[in-house]
Amino acid sequence: MTNKSFAYIKIDRQEGVVTTSGISFEEFLAGLERKPTNFLLLDADQMHWDICRHRDLGIAYVRFEDIGRNIRDISLGNFCWVDFEDVADLDRVTKQELAELLYFNHKVEPFRHFQVESLRNRYAYHGHDDDWSVRIFMENPDDYKAVVAHKLLKELKGRKRTMPLPPGEIMDRLMGMFEQGAAFDFEKASMGEGYAFVRIYPIGDVWGEPYGMDAVHERLDRQRECYAGEHLEYDTRGKRWRFY
């Protein structure tokens, strides 16, 4: 099953994890304000990149400035990484830390904590088929607010050259919805003379369910039939965002 034009987001502040479907790695990276410095690629073997491999760890890594050349290759299979500050940090990774990194890649959850002391990482990312199923452990889940704003503007801006970021109160309300698990329905979004709007539907938490992200599609279809959803609009004449 392929993704409809939507973005499902579930933010768990207590665990520091964001679960998404419909937001690609490229979109995540573009929206993120605190960019990773380097990527330790725990699972990217399906991609034929010209990258370095650490001799002792046996794991490939790539610098941030080089990731863009290969970013469109991330379409099938698993893509798992943690960030790190300096290549010298890789020499300090202990056997225990290496085992925990491999555990995260295999189980899509940390053995103890996703942050590895030797790497000083802020993120641990696991995606399947790029935007189909993504799980991101983050030092500060509030950093994902910038990714939400980027995705929203990318989908709604259309041919308009500019569209301002939603103000703080709008973003806070959106983040509150995503703490419960919700989806932007871009397939039913509308752009016209003087306005652009999107509906947001409650989905809940689907992680760990037998059918995983298929449940997002099923719940979104049901919501469309019986519920109008939250309506978020940008008034291009008044230059303001509003819910109604």
Question: How many structural domains are present in the chain?
Answer: 2
Q: Is residue 150 part of a domain?
A: no
Tokens of 5: 């034009």
Structural domain boundaries enclosing 209: 159-243
**Residue 22 and residue 118 in one domain:** yes
**Residue 68 and residue 186 in one domain:** no
How confident is the chain (244 residues) per 10-residue block, as mean pLDDT? Answer: 76 96 95 95 72 86 83 79 95 96 96 96 95 96 97 84 90 97 91 86 86 86 88 91 92
Instruction: Give start and end residues of each alpha helix (H) in the chain.
Output: 25-31, 64-67, 95-107, 144-157, 168-180, 214-226
pLDDT value of position 69: 74
**Residue 36 and residue 69 in one domain:** yes
> How many Å is the maximal CA-CA distance in the chain?
60
**Residue 135 and residue 33 in one domain:** yes
**Residue 176 and residue 133 in one domain:** no
Model confidence over 42-63: pLDDT tens digits? 997 656 666 788 888 989 898 8
pTM of structure: 0.92
